[in-house]
Structure 1
Amino acid sequence: MTDVPEVLRYNAFAADPTGGNPAGVVLDAADLSDERMLQIAAEVGYSETAFVTSRRDDAGTPRYHVRFWSPAAEVPFCGHATVATAVALAERGGVGEMLFETGGGEVALRSASDDEGTVTVSFTSVEPEVRDLDEGVLARLLGLLGLEPSDLDPRFPPKEAFAGNWHPILVIRDRELFDQFRFSPAPVAALMREQGWHGTVTVLHAADESDVDARNLFPVGRITEDPATGSAAASTGAFLREHGVVDRTIRIHQGAHVRRPSLLTVTIPPRGGIVVSGRAVRLS
């Protein structure tokens, strides 16, 4: 293999032709160094690029080791790049079950295609965790976003949730404030690095428990706001389950604030991993 691998480009979770979140995919990355993967991710310029570094079969189920890099650093897990990679593999090897070994843990996936050949992927996250958000850290985060504790939805107290990456999750009760809040990327990125938040800061508005609007702030990855975030969708499912939303399938609407509308479907079982579903299409 040469040091100039083929980089596939896919768009994941698009709600319409103008939306979604693009990801790079390198299917043959076994010989790439960390430095080269970071360089490629920076050259691609998307929020994440996925690198498949090995494959083996366990009882007939393909198992891949996959690493994810933003233009700035390695990320333990990336949901939209996971969907993009699974679609790329399914287009070449057929749909079905597969397993990804990631820095955030093992992720089970199932792909299926419709009559037109469009592939949909559902992945089941690692076992989620939810923990309290330190009051001092919460106060700092709210201050950086120009928010007050009274702006938060009392139905859903802030938490940190993990389903591959740790995400602080805030729910704003007023839709207008959710749409209008602004922030300075550099200090938010500094707080994220300090707290080990390698994913996004997840800010939600929940008019009901079936349709949730999301803004995912990602300045630590040199992306001010991410248009579609699979890992945050899984963590949001864990967060909602912690607050009593169980045995439900919800729709997460994201990306409108960066003019890339996206839709992620999240199924919340009573226990175990959270299931996130979506499509990805090849970019020319």
Structure 2
Amino acid sequence: MSQNPGADVLRYTAFSADPEGGNPAGVVLDASGLDDAAMLAVAAELGYSESAFLTGRDEPGGEGAQAARAYTVRYFSPKAEVPFCGHATVAAALALAERDGPGDLVFRTRAGTVPVTVVREGAELRATLTSVAPHVLDVTPGDLAEALAALDWPAADLDPALPPRIAFAGARHLVLAAATRERLADLDYDFARLEALMHRLDLTTLQLVWRAAPTVFHVRDPFPVGGVVEDPATGAAAAALGACLRAGGLVPDASVLTLHQGEDMGRPGTLTVELRAGDDRVRVSGTGTRIEG
């Protein structure tokens, strides 16, 4: 990067094996020499929704062999630091796996400790992150009305079977369900108005969803607080959606969900969300690949 000659910046896409699909992220495997301003400058210059910076690594011997695979990770959008980012976590894990081999990792993030496992499936690598403990909150009528106004969505276009909620699994997301695929596809929102609401509610994205089948969803994620109109594939929001659906009794406690995202942007990707009975944490997995050039 021209502004940061000391930063070795890799580019990966997450949740697709095609470099033209999924969600691209910058990855700096050794960001120990970068301060906050430098990391923000790298993220802004890349222009991706988020980038991951590995700022520290546990020394071997502290906690057994696993300690050598534990990293402190920070995430920056082009405008600000965010506490957690799922697709950049997948991207960073894949970059480490290509350098050091597949296996178990631990990412220490501002949101908490996130275990990640990378396995090889044929010619592809697949990363699975385990979220921090999630929680789900109600949305006030006033905040819901403001969100719908910013989106220019009539309330009648919502799916009454999936009530609006704010869900957290590392970052906060407002989950809104569209009644039709056509409603989800027609996304043209008031950037400044939605950004102001999201700052007030401490939201990272809106998770807009349409349920195509009991365990299959199409999703989109406006991300104005990060300086990006839309996020192509959003692992943190996928985890939040899984927690939201389980909390509402809308899926079984043990479920595997498939999320399709990015199709309306020309960057299709697939996220797999796993819920396990007796374990409140949510697992999100996907493939990825390095973007050359």
Tell me, yes or no, whether TM beats 0.5: yes
SS state of the match for residue 213, structure 2? coil
The equivalent of 1:84 in structure 2 is 91
SS state of the match for residue 143, structure 2? helix
The equivalent of 1:186 in structure 2 is 192
Instruction: Select 1:202's aligned residue among 204, 207, 210.
Output: 207
SS state of the match for residue 154, structure 1? coil
SS state of the match for residue 236, structure 2? helix
Paired with 1:128 and 1:54, the residues of 2 have a C-alpha distance of 26
The equivalent of 1:126 in structure 2 is 132
1:140-191 deviation digits (Å, cap 9, x = unpaired): 0011111232221111110000001000000011222221242121111111
Q: Displacement of 1:93 after TM fit?
A: 1.4
- The amino acid that maps onto 1:262 is G
- The amino acid that maps onto 2:210 is H
Q: Displacement of 1:114 after TM fit?
A: 2.7
Taking structure 1 as reference, are residues 7 and 49 closer, same or farther at Cα in structure 2, changes over 3 Å only? same
- The amino acid that maps onto 2:230 is E
**Structure 2 runs not aligned, ≥5 long:** none
Instruction: Choose 271-280 or 8-17, whichever is displaced more.
Output: 8-17
Runs of 4+ in 1 over 4 A off after TM superposition: none
Paired with 1:205 and 1:108, the residues of 2 have a C-alpha distance of 29
Paired with 2:17 and 2:153, the residues of 1 have a C-alpha distance of 29
The equivalent of 2:175 in structure 1 is 169
Percent of pairs identical after alignment?
45
The equivalent of 1:6 in structure 2 is 8
For the pair 1:272 / 2:247, whether they are aligned, the reply is no
Aligned length: 281
Paired with 2:8 and 2:19, the residues of 1 have a C-alpha distance of 25
1:221-266 deviation digits (Å, cap 9, x = unpaired): 1110111000001001001111211211011001112111111011
Paired with 1:202 and 1:157, the residues of 2 have a C-alpha distance of 13
The equivalent of 2:256 in structure 1 is 249
Residues 12 and 80 in structure 1, CA contact (< 8 A), matched pair in contact too? yes
SS state of the match for residue 206, structure 1? strand
Matched ranges for 1:1-284 at <5 A: 4-14=6-16, 16=18, 18-56=20-58, 57=60, 58-61=63-66, 62-116=69-123, 118-197=124-203, 199-244=204-249, 245=251, 246-270=253-277, 271-284=279-292
**Structure 1 runs not aligned, ≥5 long:** none
Residues 17 and 289 in structure 2, CA contact (< 8 A), matched pair in contact too? no
Instruction: Choose 19-28 or 50-59, whichever is displaced more.
Output: 50-59
- The amino acid that maps onto 2:208 is V
TM-score (ref. length: structure 1): 0.95
Paired with 1:209 and 1:15, the residues of 2 have a C-alpha distance of 26
Q: Displacement of 1:207 after TM fit?
A: 2.3
Paired with 1:144 and 1:122, the residues of 2 have a C-alpha distance of 34
Paired with 1:177 and 1:283, the residues of 2 have a C-alpha distance of 32
Paired with 2:103 and 2:17, the residues of 1 have a C-alpha distance of 24
SS state of the match for residue 40, structure 1? helix
